[in-house]
Amino acid sequence: MTEYQSADGPVTGYAPPRPSAVWISALRKVYGEGDAAVHALRGVDLDIPHGDYVAVMGASGSGKSTLMNIVGCLDVPSSGEYRLDGIAIADLDERQLSLVRNRKIGFVFQSFNLLARTTAFENVELPLVYGAVRGPQRRRRALAALHLVGLGDRVDHHPNQLSGGQQQRVAIARALVTAPSLVLADEPTGNLDTQSSSEVMSLFDRLNAAGRTIVLITHEEDIAAHAKRAVRLVDGLIVQDVRFAPVDGLPPRLATAGAGRPAAPSLALGPGA
Ligand SMILES: Nc1ncnc2c1ncn2[C@@H]1O[C@H](COP(=O)(O)OP(=O)(O)OP(=O)(O)O)[C@@H](O)[C@H]1O
Ligand SMILES: [Mg+2]
């Protein structure tokens, strides 16, 4: 029997539900002031449970990156509420915020954002350096992350010695090395050809099948079709929220590919991996 403490005292035999990965209410973001003010988000409500795989779509300037930056704790809203894994982000000081960012969130950007004069291995290791993880464990985890994205044979290559798709997979390994519960990607396939895009998306599919919550921005319908759910923004408001697959099932592409076969390949990467 589980026991937990509620406001009314201990309760036995009932586990409280896990808070959502992302819970947002009446979120607004205004850039600038007066006549120059831009209302980038105008009252967004969004609830993303753990295990979800969400594509954020919308025209250029609709507020997608603004929303993603707030979800990733890189920027703060002008008003409204945001809870990450149950934590009210507005209550945190700078130090707590950077801890949450480092521990709970992995970022992938359109332009990869890798350090040029640094090997794939060193790029992936970097978040662990910031996280003060010690040498041998750091090395083990960085190598595990590179193996996970299929780049075990490219660890000593510099970014300019890698294809675009490989560079993005290094960036994904870097996002995963801290074992975050939430992976955020802003147009991760925007700079990739069709073949590399499909490799990167199949990696996201398998990460989600292994339990990771993924939110990605895309302009392309066939990229969004990998997700379990698509949210569409118009002028800073969510105008459409469609679910393609249940949160606790396989993402659509794996469900089709894996019909009649056992579970999807495991991609666990815990802190000790
Ligand atoms: N730092 C900023 N200062 C002022 N205005 C900004 C800033 N960042 C974004 N904006 C404005 O906020 C609005 C939303 O921008 P955002 O970058 O979120 O759009 P987006 O949906 O990501 O577009 P894209 O598809 O082109 O990346 C736009 O009108 C943009 O010009
Ligand atoms: Mg954008």
CATH label of the domain that carries residue 63: 3.40.50.300
Query: Which ligand has the nearest atom to the CA of 109?
Result: 2
H helices then E strands: how many in the chain? 8, 12
Helix, strand, coil % in the chain, rounded to nearest 5: 35, 25, 40
5: its two tokens? 């403490």
Distance CA 116, CA 149 (A): 19
- The CA–CA distances, whole Å, from 17 to 20, 168, 245, 250 equal 9, 35, 21, 21
pLDDT digits (tens, 9 = 90+) for 70-108: 999 999 999 999 999 999 999 999 999 999 998 899 999
Query: Which ligand has the nearest atom to the CA of 28?
Result: 1
216: its two tokens? 């990605």
Bridge partners, 12 (sequence order): 3
Of 11 and 185, the structure prediction assigns the larger pLDDT to 185
Mean pLDDT of 146-166: 96
Residue 3 lies in a domain: no
Per-residue confidence band for 15, with pLDDT thresholds at 50, 70 and 90? confident
Residue 104 lies in a domain: yes
Residue 43 lies in a domain: no
- The residue whose C-alpha atom lies closest to atom 2 belonging to ligand 1 is 31
Q: What is the mean pLDDT of the chain?
A: 91
Asked whether 85 and 19 are in contact (CB, 8 A), the reply is yes
Task: Answer whether residue 50 shows pLDDT above 60.
Answer: yes
Residue 129 lies in a domain: yes
Residue 99 lies in a domain: yes
pLDDT digits (tens, 9 = 90+) for 162-193: 999 999 999 999 999 999 989 999 999 999 99
Establish how many alpha carbons lie within 13 A of residue 5's alpha carbon, considering only the half-sphere containing its beta carbon: 0
Look at residue 131 in the predicted model and tell me its pLDDT.
81
- The residue whose C-alpha atom lies closest to atom 24 belonging to ligand 1 is 60
Residue 87 lies in a domain: no
Exposed, middle or buried: residue 256 (CB in 10 Å: 0-12, 13-18, 19+)?
Answer: exposed
Look at residue 73 in the predicted model and tell me its pLDDT.
95
Residue 147 lies in a domain: yes
Task: Answer whether residue 222 shows pLDDT above 50.
Answer: yes
Look at residue 5 in the predicted model and tell me its pLDDT.
64
223 Cβ neighbours under 8 A, 6+ residues apart: 55, 189, 197, 201, 216
Rg (CA), the chain: 19
Query: Which ligand has the nearest atom to the CA of 75?
Result: 1
Distance CA 253, CA 249 (A): 11
The DSSP 8-state label assigned to residue 50 in this structure reads: T
Query: Residues lining ligand 1, CB < 6 A?
Result: 31-32, 38, 40, 58, 60-66
pTM for the predicted model, two decimal places: 0.88
Q: How far is the CA of 61 from the centre of ligand 1 (A)?
A: 5
37: helix, strand or coil = coil
* Helix or strand run (H / E) with residue 84: strand 79-84
* Helix or strand run (H / E) with residue 123: helix 120-130
Give the chain's domain count: 1
In ligand 1, the atom with minimum distance to the C-alpha of 68 is 18
**Enclosing domain of residue 214:** 50-78+93-257
Asked whether 24 and 90 are in contact (CB, 8 A), the reply is no
Mean pLDDT of 248-273: 65
Residue 64 lies in a domain: yes
Look at residue 7 in the predicted model and tell me its pLDDT.
63
